[in-house]
Amino acid sequence: MNYFIQLIVSGIVLGSIYALIALGFVLIYKATRVLNFAQGELLMAGAYIAFALTVQLHIPFWSAFFIAMLLCALLGLIIEILILKPLIGEPIISIVMITIGLSIVLKAIVEMIWGTETRVYPAIFSTQPIALGAISVSKSSLFSLVAAITLFIIFHLFFKFSSTGIAMRAVADDQQAAQSMGINIKKIFAISWMVAALVAGIGGILIGNMNGINVSLGMFGLKVFPAVILGGLDSIPGAIIGGITIGVLESLSGGYLDPLVGGGVKMVAPFAILLVILLIKPYGLFGTEEIEKV
């Protein structure tokens, strides 16, 4: 039983990271209808930028954190202007391929600068696990869970009350109507990429604190697809619930099935689940069903 609860808890921690990446993903999809295959690489870029600032430039963690966030947002803006803007109105395959191309380029750049070996962050939190009843959680996992929850509350309020947030929702709902109400769509597109890159960057720093970073961090971006599909591609609560569900399922299947078949189930289980979801409920739990009219 303890093992089961331990798996659930580590699943929730992992899932909260997935949820964070999924959040950035959904933001971009909601506002611009672009499925971003490079979300994982944005996360990696954020993690490496923070690494460079704290370890290589010796800036104290919290100020480095904020500088990294600024740089991430800037990266998002540059990507939007240079790469996504020329592709407005192009077919879906072009958009899929350009974000894949972007992910390859980002990965190559990081590899050129920092190499392929795993880098470790300085310990900000003690590695001493905290005992919660019978189970133990490391302090950095707990921190990432808290950070994820805080971010979701901030985003919820942002979309509910700030005028930019409301404008973003309007653009997501109906671009033409939003434009005729005087919303600057180009600005909204740029903002969504900046915010998405920023959120990904935070996710990267959280992962870096838990496991260290290397160039395969981008894989997180692919593993987040099951989460967003489960929740619905354009739903923010869906991203959270989908992320945590997939995290827990991954942790459970890894814990119970891996010994049976000899490893690797963790990687593939989310995708098997994904295929089932797509067949039963293609638009996810909370996604908007796309109805086509002639």
Cα-based angle 285, 289, 294 (whole degrees, multiple of 5)? 165
What are phi and psi for residue 41, nearest 5 degrees? -75, -30
The mark string for 49-88 relative to another protein (x by CB under 8 A, - otherwise) is ----------------------------------x--xx-
111 binds another protein (CB under 8 A): yes
What are phi and psi for residue 183, nearest 5 degrees? -85, 135
- Map the footprint of another protein across residues 29-48, applying CB under 8 A: 35
Tell me how far, at minimum, the Cβ of 95 lies from another protein, in Å: 8
Tell me how far, at minimum, the Cβ of 243 lies from another protein, in Å: 15
Which of 88, 109, 177, 181 binds another protein (CB under 8 A)? It is 109
> Are the C-beta atoms of residues 103 and 38 closer than 8 Å to each other?
yes
Instruction: Decide the pairing of beta strands 129-132 and 135-138.
Output: antiparallel
Q: Exposure string (b/e) for 223-245, b if CB count within 10 Å is 16 or more? A: bbbbbbbbbbbbbbebbbbbbbb
The mark string for 208-247 relative to another protein (x by CB under 8 A, - otherwise) is --------------x--xx--x---x--------------
Gap between the terminal Cα atoms of the chain: 55
294 binds another protein (CB under 8 A): yes
Which residue has tokens 């996810």?
A: 284
Residue 269's SS3 state is: helix
Tell me how far, at minimum, the Cβ of 101 lies from another protein, in Å: 3
Binding piece for another protein, criterion CB under 8 A, among 9-17, 107-115, 119-127, 163-171: 107-115
> Are the C-beta atoms of residues 233 and 284 closer than 8 Å to each other?
yes
Give 132 or 268: the residue with its C-beta nearer to another protein.
268
Binding site for another protein (CB under 8 A): 35, 83, 86-87, 90, 92-94, 96-98, 100-105, 107-109, 111-112, 115, 222, 225-226, 229, 233, 261-262, 264-265, 267-268, 271-272, 274-275, 278-279, 282, 292, 294
